[in-house]
């Protein structure tokens, strides 16, 4: 993946925006890297690999590690080259553990997993990119209303999505949703977010009933293990479940605008509910979970 000095600032901003706002002033700018890993005005991956471990400032080191991980991940993904997910994970986990926990955006997603944003470019829908680390674990159950998550687990995404399994087992179920005029137990809901906290991972979401009744037909159930991946087209219905030990699973999840997007995403929920608020616990310390994943990834070495 070729990133030149002209595009580097925008690329770096897409990484820096995924750190907590309170420490934004501590993060490195493009000028702080300008002489470190460029060759002929392009990022030189081999140079970046050499210098990334030499930085003494923890924020600069964390951003450089994440930069290296995202560059390698996007380059291989877009070139249809097999991704060494363990290598990418090692870089990402070091990036997270290098900095104070308060610097990490780490919150519960609407589906009950821990979500840590890593890269977000949203200036153009056709080039939209959002890469997140997702972690499932039983220890997170105390932070969520499991009934609400279960009621609103079947959903679509606005953008084409792809998931790479780092560890554990993920079951991905796919569905066909058929709108009907007759009253059924399920309706389509839209999701709205408050923006009082960090816009990368929202604190509260409101599911609002469209009063459009639907019938649900499951069309597949797939199980994925470490080093495998699956994709979901924009607008297609699915839900994912973790079945790892202690339900511990981790995935690298990416939204890719150039592979398709729809204007509206939906969730399916009980038709007898008009609105449902999902509150998400913000700023959960991910350290123990990250270390557990490291052990699980390395246990077969």
Q: Which of 134, 125, 162 is nearest to 251 (CA)?
A: 134
Q: Which of 115, 64, 112, 120 is nearest to 92 (CA)?
A: 64
Confidence grade of residue 203 (pLDDT, cut at 50, 70, 90): low
C-beta separation of 60 from 28 below 8 A: yes
Q: Which of 1, 2, 14 is nearest to 78 (CA)?
A: 1
Domain spans in the chain, listed from the N-terminal domain onward: 5-98, 118-282
- Over the stretch 125-135, which tens digit does the pLDDT of each residue have? 889 999 999 99
Confidence grade of residue 198 (pLDDT, cut at 50, 70, 90): very low
pLDDT higher at 263 or 61: 61
Mean of all residue pLDDT scores within the chain: 91
Whether residue 180 is predicted with pLDDT greater than 50 in this model: the reply is yes
Q: Phi and psi for 74 in degrees, rounded to 5?
A: -65, -40
Between 19-28, 122-131, 263-272, 278-287, the lowest mean confidence (pLDDT) is in: 278-287
Q: Mean of the pLDDT values across residues 150-163?
A: 94
**Does the domain at residues 118-282 carry the CATH identifier 1.10.1060?**
no
Distance (Å, whole) CA 174 – CA 180:
19
| pLDDT, position 50 | 95
| pLDDT, position 197 | 38
């Amino acid at each position: 993946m070729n990133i030149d000095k002209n595009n580097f600032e925008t690329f770096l901003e897409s990484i820096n925006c995924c750190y907590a706002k309170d420490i934004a002033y501590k993060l490195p700018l493009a000028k702080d890297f300008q002489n470190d890993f460029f060759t002929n005005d392009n990022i030189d991956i081999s140079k970046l690999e050499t210098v990334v471990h030499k930085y003494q400032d923890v924020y600069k080191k964390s951003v450089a590690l994440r930069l290296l991980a995202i560059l390698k991940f996007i380059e291989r993904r877009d070139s249809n080259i097999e991704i060494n997910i363990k290598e990418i994970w090692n870089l990402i986990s070091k990036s997270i553990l290098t900095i104070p926990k308060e610097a990490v955006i780490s919150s519960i997603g609407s589906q009950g997993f821990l979500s840590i944003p890593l890269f977000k470019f949203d200036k153009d829908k056709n080039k939209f990119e959002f890469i997140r680390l997702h972690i499932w674990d039983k220890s997170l159950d105390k932070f969520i209303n499991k009934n609400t998550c279960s009621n609103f687990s079947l959903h679509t995404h606005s953008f084409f999505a792809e998931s790479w399994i780092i560890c554990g087992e993920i079951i991905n179920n796919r569905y066909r949703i058929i709108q009907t005029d007759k009253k059924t137990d399920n309706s389509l809901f839209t999701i709205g977010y408050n923006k009082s906290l960090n816009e990368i991972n929202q604190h509260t979401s409101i599911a609002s009933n469209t009063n459009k009744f639907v019938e649900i037909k499951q069309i597949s159930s797939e199980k994925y293990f470490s080093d495998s991946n699956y994709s979901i087209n924009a607008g297609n219905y699915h839900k994912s479940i973790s079945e790892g030990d202690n339900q511990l699973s981790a995935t690298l999840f990416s939204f890719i605008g150039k592979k398709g997007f729809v204007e509206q995403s939906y969730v399916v929920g009980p038709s007898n509910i008009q609105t449902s608020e999902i509150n998400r616990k913000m700023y959960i310390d991910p350290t123990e979970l990250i270390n557990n994943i490291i052990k699980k990834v390395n246990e077969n070495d």
